[in-house]
Structure 1
């Protein structure tokens, strides 16, 4: 198979290549094309990949290009992992929001809206070009905000674009291990939107139970020791998890503890985006020197990045440092590999990777993905992209039945989906009014006047948002 990575100069590309190097099954990826608008970053990442491939006789061939059409031609799969505006843009998103006293995280709240307004027009152009140049390719969207961007691309690619995220995978694996279940065999009842979902059940095989499986999640809420032994338990606290009787995606900490998180972000020496911008700038500067050991420089930077993930949230919750097993690699890249192999007809091999959250039950693979709703959630229309377990085979993903949303879950999901629709309208029409509406309607922005100031601040920080005039 031939794989194209858009955003091929991105820092996490070696994770993808590492997964491909470990895959030796029939039908594997044999050529990977990296595309990026930044030639220097492409060169740096290509050096890291060359170090990774050393001593691997069947390593996939790597080529790089700054020509998008050239990158797309002949592709079987396209990974969209772009970052419009780079990490400097993310840092600006955070700063503008915090200046108004609201959250600026890159996928949640004001920062997520700003990122979406910058990204959707570029993602739509990519979708149109894929449809023209590589109409048989499957697009796997890594680009954040993943649900919003996937929905924008689906308008031009239909079901051939699928959004992925590793947060539900990590959540499911942590809870399964905590309950003594096999993470690769447990069935997850997970429902919501990207970065706005809840684990509602965790089912294990039990021939004595109705349907041959038993939900072991309720046992978690009855054991204080278990409930506070894993990342989300520490982050949200045992009392709150017992109250809502589900385990939220870690990003819901921004909603449930918004004031505390905003205060922590404002008091921090620098925002997450500013930290990553400085850290990765050092990495790419270091890589500009030919003598730099590429793999060592990249791996050292990666370890620091992962150890500091959501540090302000954990500090607010008193959760301490992340557990060592939560720092293991095996996120996006393993989900993407399992998804590719299931679509390409290698579903049995996909589940063998481990660590991907792939569950094999007969033919096909089960993965938590961002896909059109269809009739899965009755509170949303069929075209709304949601994040739920899906059955994947050569025809693509099909959403599986999930628990019905509770009242407060449905409220958040419908409110955030309405915001996403305003972003899509603004990106398509250039409507500044729709952009203000997106900010004003978000649950984490509490004022129409703040919404107007946010748009003004973002247009000043990002000249590319000048298209929002009407």
Structure 2
């Protein structure tokens, strides 16, 4: 089995490699290829990756290359974890929206749109090259904004599934609070990428007893603190929202805080410098503890589980993925990409039935879906007007004068990545 990671020079990669090493019975990788144009980072990350495999007795071969076509040739699955523009672009995404009173965030709002415009064309080019070289390969997208990127891939006819670590993180959190194994916890997880709610937490599977009321009663304050949301709000909602919902439910408070402290991008950039220095140490042969603060917790477990299911070797029967809506959420168009529990196998994901979504959640889901459709049109076809329409449609913006200013600032900060400017 050959797996290729595009963006293999990322500081995330040792988390992924550690999962491949630990879970080799679930996903027996024989060759792991790390593809990245940054030779310096690739050397450091590749060296640590080989030492992790050696420490854990994994017999697989790790190859590093800047040649995408060679890297994906013969791959059974290709994982995408790239960041177009690097942390410098993220720093901009988190900064200039604040000047207009809007949240500065890399996956939602104006910053999220900027990331989509930079990312979609690059990902589609990679996917076309994968299809030419190896049309049977599955593409697993971890690149944000996952929902928009996955929709672009599926719309272009690629064998693609989107993946996020929010659900597996909540599953692990709830399992610990309940004192059970994570595999025993099934989430009724529904919505869009970075816009989801846990409407049930079931013990033993989709039809198991719902323990969400008990969790909210016994641990609601702790859960709310982790999400950085007010505890009374969780009690009133009766569900557990993704922590990304704080950008919607407490937008102005978040903006005020962001204006008074360093950006997350600057924090991550500092962590990356520290991590790369650690990776250079030839004695290091395991992922460092600092990596947990970088983000992407449990990404490796989720990626192994998904790849194993897609490649027919096992994996959990039900997994939270980003996939085509079809008729799962009837108030959304079939071509929308949703994030829900799905049965996953060699033919891809099949979303499980979802209970009707409360209007409070369905309305916001429909609103953001409309924005994502407009964002994808802007990413594929360009033009200032398309960017403006996407920003005007976003529920965190939605005002004519603000959308006009943000459009100009988005274009100004991303000229080098926008071919149509």
**Superposition TM-score, scaled by structure 1 size:** 0.84
CA contact (8 A) 2:4 2:71 kept: yes
User: Is the deviation greater in 24-33 or in 403-412?
Assistant: 24-33
CA contact (8 A) 1:203 1:213 kept: yes
Q: Show the 5 A alignment for 1:90-129.
A: 90-129=90-129
Task: State the secondary structure of the residue aligned to 1:236.
Answer: coil
Q: Partners in 1 of 2:309 and 2:110 — Cα distance?
A: 36
Bigger relative contact order, structure 1 or 2 (CA pairs below 8 A, ≥6 apart): 2
Q: Offset of 1:242 from its aligned partner?
A: 1.5
Change (3 A) 1:265 1:116: same
Query: Which residue does 1:46 correspond to in 2?
Result: 46
CA contact (8 A) 1:191 1:199 kept: yes
Q: Partners in 1 of 2:339 and 2:362 — Cα distance?
A: 14
CA contact (8 A) 1:21 1:59 kept: no
CA contact (8 A) 2:382 2:420 kept: yes
Query: Which residue does 1:317 correspond to in 2?
Result: none
Change (3 A) 1:126 1:175: same
CA contact (8 A) 1:127 1:157 kept: no
Residue number among 197, 209, 217 corresponding to 2:212 in the alignment: 217
Residue 98 of structure 2 is aligned to residue 131 of structure 1: no
Consecutive unaligned residues of structure 1, counting only runs of 5 or more, are 307-328, 351-357, 359-364
Residue number among 360, 363, 371 corresponding to 1:411 in the alignment: 363
Change (3 A) 1:39 1:157: farther
CA contact (8 A) 2:76 2:136 kept: yes
Change (3 A) 1:266 1:171: same
Q: Partners in 1 of 2:61 and 2:373 — Cα distance?
A: 40
Task: State the secondary structure of the residue aligned to 1:398.
Answer: strand
Residue number among 329, 347, 369 corresponding to 2:321 in the alignment: 369
CA contact (8 A) 1:227 1:233 kept: no
Query: Which residue does 2:246 correspond to in 1?
Result: 253
Q: Partners in 2 of 1:229 and 1:280 — Cα distance?
A: 29
Q: Partners in 2 of 1:340 and 1:232 — Cα distance?
A: 33
Q: Partners in 2 of 1:173 and 1:403 — Cα distance?
A: 23
Query: Which residue does 2:337 correspond to in 1?
Result: 385
Residue 325 of structure 2 is aligned to residue 332 of structure 1: no
Q: After superposition, give the CA deviation of every residue in 1:147-190 in whole Å (9 maximum; x if it has no partner).
A: 110111112234x2000111012123323433445431232211
Task: State the secondary structure of the residue aligned to 2:396.
Answer: coil
Residue 313 of structure 2 is aligned to residue 346 of structure 1: yes
Q: Partners in 1 of 2:237 and 2:194 — Cα distance?
A: 17
Query: How many residue pairs align between the two structures?
Result: 421
Change (3 A) 1:232 1:394: farther
CA contact (8 A) 2:39 2:66 kept: yes
CA contact (8 A) 1:93 1:104 kept: yes
Task: State the secondary structure of the residue aligned to 2:215.
Answer: helix
Q: Show the 5 A alignment for 1:15-34.
A: 15-25=15-25, 28-34=28-34
Q: After superposition, give the CA deviation of every residue in 1:191-240 in whole Å (9 maximum; x if it has no partner).
A: 0000100000122259xxxx96322212334x2x4211335666223311
Query: Which residue does 2:288 correspond to in 1?
Result: 299
Change (3 A) 1:64 1:117: same
Q: Partners in 1 of 2:27 and 2:341 — Cα distance?
A: 25
Task: State the secondary structure of the residue aligned to 1:299.
Answer: coil
Query: Which residue does 2:219 correspond to in 1?
Result: 226
Query: Which residue does 1:198 correspond to in 2?
Result: 197
Q: Offset of 1:426 from its aligned partner?
A: 1.2
